[in-house]
Amino acid sequence: MVITIDGAAGVGKSSTAKELAKRLGYQYFDTGAMYRAVTFYFLAENVDLESNNQVTKSLDSIKLHIDFSFDKEMRIFLDDEDISLKIRSQEVTSTVSIVSAIKEVRDKMVKIQRSFAENGNFVVEGRDIGTVVFPDAEHKFFLQADYDVRAKRRLADFEKINEAKNINEIKKDLEKRDKYDSTRKLSPLKIPNNATIVDTTFCSFDDQVNQILKHIEKMNER
Protein backbone atom coordinates (compact mmCIF):
# COMPACT_ATOMS: atom_id res chain seq x y z
CA MET A 1 0.00 0.00 0.00
CA VAL A 2 1.14 3.53 -0.80
CA ILE A 3 0.31 6.78 0.99
CA THR A 4 1.33 9.84 -1.00
CA ILE A 5 2.44 13.16 0.48
CA ASP A 6 3.02 15.98 -1.98
CA GLY A 7 3.80 19.64 -1.46
CA ALA A 8 6.40 22.35 -1.91
CA ALA A 9 9.70 22.64 -0.02
CA GLY A 10 9.47 23.38 3.70
CA VAL A 11 5.79 22.58 4.19
CA GLY A 12 6.71 19.79 6.59
CA LYS A 13 6.48 16.86 4.16
CA SER A 14 9.58 14.99 5.26
CA SER A 15 9.07 15.13 9.00
CA THR A 16 5.38 14.29 8.63
CA ALA A 17 5.95 11.45 6.18
CA LYS A 18 8.69 9.99 8.40
CA GLU A 19 6.51 10.07 11.50
CA LEU A 20 3.52 8.64 9.65
CA ALA A 21 5.66 5.81 8.33
CA LYS A 22 6.95 5.12 11.83
CA ARG A 23 3.50 5.05 13.40
CA LEU A 24 2.01 2.87 10.68
CA GLY A 25 5.01 0.55 10.39
CA TYR A 26 5.49 1.60 6.76
CA GLN A 27 8.68 2.49 4.95
CA TYR A 28 9.45 6.18 4.43
CA PHE A 29 10.37 7.01 0.81
CA ASP A 30 11.81 10.43 -0.04
CA THR A 31 11.71 10.87 -3.84
CA GLY A 32 13.25 14.35 -3.69
CA ALA A 33 16.44 12.68 -2.44
CA MET A 34 16.63 10.80 -5.73
CA TYR A 35 16.46 13.99 -7.82
CA ARG A 36 19.04 15.52 -5.48
CA ALA A 37 21.34 12.51 -5.87
CA VAL A 38 21.16 12.73 -9.68
CA THR A 39 21.90 16.46 -9.41
CA PHE A 40 24.88 15.73 -7.12
CA TYR A 41 26.21 13.29 -9.70
CA PHE A 42 25.68 15.64 -12.67
CA LEU A 43 27.51 18.43 -10.81
CA ALA A 44 30.40 16.12 -9.88
CA GLU A 45 30.66 14.93 -13.49
CA ASN A 46 30.29 18.44 -14.91
CA VAL A 47 27.38 17.33 -17.07
CA ASP A 48 26.10 20.03 -19.40
CA LEU A 49 22.39 20.10 -18.50
CA GLU A 50 21.52 21.52 -21.90
CA SER A 51 23.08 18.55 -23.66
CA ASN A 52 20.63 15.71 -24.13
CA ASN A 53 23.45 13.42 -25.09
CA GLN A 54 25.48 14.08 -21.94
CA VAL A 55 22.44 13.80 -19.69
CA THR A 56 21.40 10.46 -21.21
CA LYS A 57 24.94 9.06 -21.03
CA SER A 58 25.29 10.09 -17.40
CA LEU A 59 21.95 8.59 -16.51
CA ASP A 60 23.11 5.31 -18.03
CA SER A 61 26.27 5.28 -15.98
CA ILE A 62 24.93 6.49 -12.63
CA LYS A 63 25.08 3.87 -9.88
CA LEU A 64 22.43 4.96 -7.43
CA HIS A 65 21.46 2.70 -4.61
CA ILE A 66 18.62 3.28 -2.17
CA ASP A 67 18.81 1.49 1.13
CA PHE A 68 15.80 1.08 3.38
CA SER A 69 17.48 -1.15 5.93
CA PHE A 70 18.68 1.58 8.30
CA ASP A 71 16.03 1.47 10.98
CA LYS A 72 13.29 2.85 8.71
CA GLU A 73 15.54 5.68 7.48
CA MET A 74 16.05 5.93 3.76
CA ARG A 75 19.68 6.35 2.70
CA ILE A 76 20.97 7.03 -0.74
CA PHE A 77 24.32 5.87 -2.11
CA LEU A 78 26.27 6.86 -5.17
CA ASP A 79 28.59 3.99 -6.03
CA ASP A 80 29.44 2.92 -2.48
CA GLU A 81 29.36 6.35 -0.88
CA ASP A 82 26.49 7.37 1.39
CA ILE A 83 25.56 10.82 0.01
CA SER A 84 22.37 11.25 2.08
CA LEU A 85 23.72 14.40 3.77
CA LYS A 86 25.79 15.78 0.90
CA ILE A 87 22.70 16.07 -1.31
CA ARG A 88 21.30 18.70 1.09
CA SER A 89 23.98 21.27 0.17
CA GLN A 90 23.13 24.68 -1.25
CA GLU A 91 24.84 23.81 -4.54
CA VAL A 92 22.58 20.81 -5.08
CA THR A 93 19.51 22.68 -3.80
CA SER A 94 19.91 25.49 -6.29
CA THR A 95 20.37 23.16 -9.28
CA VAL A 96 17.89 20.37 -8.51
CA SER A 97 14.86 22.13 -10.00
CA ILE A 98 16.57 22.28 -13.39
CA VAL A 99 17.62 18.64 -13.24
CA SER A 100 14.21 17.44 -12.09
CA ALA A 101 12.57 19.14 -15.07
CA ILE A 102 14.48 16.93 -17.53
CA LYS A 103 12.25 14.25 -19.05
CA GLU A 104 14.87 11.49 -19.15
CA VAL A 105 15.65 12.06 -15.47
CA ARG A 106 11.99 11.91 -14.45
CA ASP A 107 11.29 8.81 -16.54
CA LYS A 108 14.12 6.93 -14.86
CA MET A 109 13.23 8.07 -11.33
CA VAL A 110 9.52 7.30 -11.69
CA LYS A 111 10.31 3.79 -12.93
CA ILE A 112 12.50 3.14 -9.89
CA GLN A 113 9.88 4.60 -7.52
CA ARG A 114 7.14 2.37 -8.89
CA SER A 115 9.32 -0.73 -8.76
CA PHE A 116 10.12 -0.20 -5.07
CA ALA A 117 6.53 0.38 -4.07
CA GLU A 118 5.42 -2.91 -5.61
CA ASN A 119 7.05 -4.66 -2.67
CA GLY A 120 5.73 -3.33 0.57
CA ASN A 121 4.01 -0.49 2.33
CA PHE A 122 5.36 2.99 1.75
CA VAL A 123 4.73 6.59 2.70
CA VAL A 124 6.07 8.34 -0.39
CA GLU A 125 6.80 12.06 -0.42
CA GLY A 126 7.49 14.29 -3.41
CA ARG A 127 5.93 16.67 -5.89
CA ASP A 128 4.19 14.38 -8.38
CA ILE A 129 3.52 11.30 -6.29
CA GLY A 130 -0.27 11.57 -6.15
CA THR A 131 -0.58 13.09 -9.62
CA VAL A 132 1.78 10.98 -11.75
CA VAL A 133 3.66 8.25 -9.90
CA PHE A 134 0.79 6.72 -7.91
CA PRO A 135 -2.40 8.47 -9.07
CA ASP A 136 -4.50 5.53 -7.82
CA ALA A 137 -3.09 5.50 -4.30
CA GLU A 138 -5.73 5.01 -1.66
CA HIS A 139 -4.58 7.87 0.56
CA LYS A 140 -3.26 11.08 -0.97
CA PHE A 141 -2.29 14.23 0.92
CA PHE A 142 -1.15 17.67 -0.18
CA LEU A 143 0.66 19.79 2.42
CA GLN A 144 0.94 23.56 2.30
CA ALA A 145 2.18 26.39 4.57
CA ASP A 146 2.98 30.08 4.28
CA TYR A 147 6.40 31.33 3.16
CA ASP A 148 7.67 32.61 6.54
CA VAL A 149 7.05 29.30 8.26
CA ARG A 150 8.57 27.37 5.39
CA ALA A 151 11.70 29.55 5.33
CA LYS A 152 12.22 29.05 9.08
CA ARG A 153 11.97 25.28 8.65
CA ARG A 154 14.49 25.33 5.79
CA LEU A 155 16.86 27.47 7.88
CA ALA A 156 16.80 24.77 10.55
CA ASP A 157 17.58 22.14 7.87
CA PHE A 158 20.65 24.10 6.74
CA GLU A 159 21.80 24.52 10.35
CA LYS A 160 21.80 20.74 10.67
CA ILE A 161 24.45 20.49 7.93
CA ASN A 162 26.32 23.55 9.24
CA GLU A 163 25.58 25.78 6.28
CA ALA A 164 25.11 29.40 7.34
CA LYS A 165 22.13 30.95 5.55
CA ASN A 166 20.11 34.12 5.58
CA ILE A 167 16.35 33.74 6.03
CA ASN A 168 15.49 36.25 3.29
CA GLU A 169 17.75 34.43 0.88
CA ILE A 170 15.99 31.16 1.73
CA LYS A 171 12.59 32.77 1.19
CA LYS A 172 13.61 34.05 -2.22
CA ASP A 173 15.01 30.65 -3.14
CA LEU A 174 11.74 28.97 -2.06
CA GLU A 175 9.67 31.36 -4.17
CA LYS A 176 11.91 30.80 -7.16
CA ARG A 177 11.81 27.01 -6.78
CA ASP A 178 8.03 26.97 -6.27
CA LYS A 179 7.52 28.95 -9.43
CA TYR A 180 9.84 26.65 -11.36
CA ASP A 181 8.40 23.40 -9.92
CA SER A 182 4.78 24.38 -10.41
CA THR A 183 5.09 25.84 -13.89
CA ARG A 184 7.37 23.24 -15.47
CA LYS A 185 5.92 21.30 -18.37
CA LEU A 186 6.51 17.83 -16.94
CA SER A 187 4.73 16.69 -13.78
CA PRO A 188 4.33 20.17 -12.28
CA LEU A 189 3.66 20.48 -8.58
CA LYS A 190 -0.11 20.61 -8.15
CA ILE A 191 -2.82 19.27 -5.89
CA PRO A 192 -3.62 15.69 -6.92
CA ASN A 193 -7.22 14.71 -7.67
CA ASN A 194 -8.96 13.47 -4.53
CA ALA A 195 -6.09 14.56 -2.29
CA THR A 196 -6.73 15.89 1.20
CA ILE A 197 -5.17 19.32 1.73
CA VAL A 198 -3.40 19.85 5.05
CA ASP A 199 -2.31 23.41 5.88
CA THR A 200 0.60 23.17 8.33
CA THR A 201 1.15 26.92 8.93
CA PHE A 202 -0.46 27.00 12.35
CA CYS A 203 -0.27 23.29 13.12
CA SER A 204 2.02 21.78 15.68
CA PHE A 205 3.89 18.81 14.32
CA ASP A 206 1.80 16.39 16.37
CA ASP A 207 -1.41 18.01 15.15
CA GLN A 208 -0.54 17.61 11.51
CA VAL A 209 0.47 13.97 11.90
CA ASN A 210 -2.65 13.19 13.95
CA GLN A 211 -4.86 14.96 11.43
CA ILE A 212 -3.54 12.73 8.65
CA LEU A 213 -3.72 9.57 10.73
CA LYS A 214 -7.32 10.30 11.69
CA HIS A 215 -8.19 10.86 8.06
CA ILE A 216 -6.65 7.53 7.08
CA GLU A 217 -8.51 5.73 9.87
CA LYS A 218 -11.79 7.31 8.81
CA MET A 219 -11.30 6.36 5.18
CA ASN A 220 -10.38 2.81 6.16
CA GLU A 221 -13.62 2.47 8.14
CA ARG A 222 -15.70 3.09 5.03
End-to-end CA distance of the chain: 17
| Of the residues 32, 86, 135, 157, which one makes contact with ligand DC according to CB under 6 A | 32
Other CB atoms within 10 A of residue 14 CB:
18
- Stretch of residues binding ligand DC (CB under 6 A), selected from 27-35, 63-71, 75-83, 205-213: 27-35
Q: Residue 185 to residues 106, 116, 182: CA-CA distances in angstroms?
A: 12, 26, 9
Site track 138-177 with ligand DC (rule: CB under 6 A), x = hit: ---------------------------------------x
The whole-angstrom separation of Cα 134 and Cα 129 is 6
Closer Cβ to ligand DC, 19 or 128, answer by number: 128
Q: Residue 45 to residues 48, 49, 107, 125: CA-CA distances in angstroms?
A: 9, 11, 21, 27
Closer Cβ to ligand DC, 78 or 129, answer by number: 129
> Interface residues for ligand DC in 67-126 (CB under 6 A)?
96-97, 100, 126
Closer Cβ to ligand DC, 82 or 214, answer by number: 82
The one-letter amino acid code at 92 reads V
Q: If DSSP codes are grouped into helix, strand and coil, which group holds residue 162?
A: coil
Q: Provide the angle, in degrees to the nearest 10, between the axes of the packed helices 52-61 and 103-117.
A: 30
In angstroms, what is the minimal distance from the CB of 9 to ligand DC? 4
In angstroms, what is the minimal distance from the CB of 31 to ligand DC? 4
In angstroms, what is the minimal distance from the CB of 191 to ligand DC? 14
The whole-angstrom separation of Cα 199 and Cα 17 is 15
127 touches ligand DC by CB under 6 A: yes
DSSP characters for 31-84?
HHHHHHHHHHHHHHTT--TT-HHHHHHHHHH--EEEEEEETTEEEEEETTEE-T
- Stretch of residues binding ligand DC (CB under 6 A), selected from 30-38, 51-59, 137-145, 208-216: 30-38
> Interface residues for ligand DC in 187-216 (CB under 6 A)?
none
Closer Cβ to ligand DC, 65 or 176, answer by number: 176
The whole-angstrom separation of Cα 106 and Cα 199 is 27
Number of residues that bind ligand DC (CB under 6 A): 14
The footprint of ligand DC (CB under 6 A) covers 9, 31-32, 35-36, 96-97, 100, 126-129, 177, 181
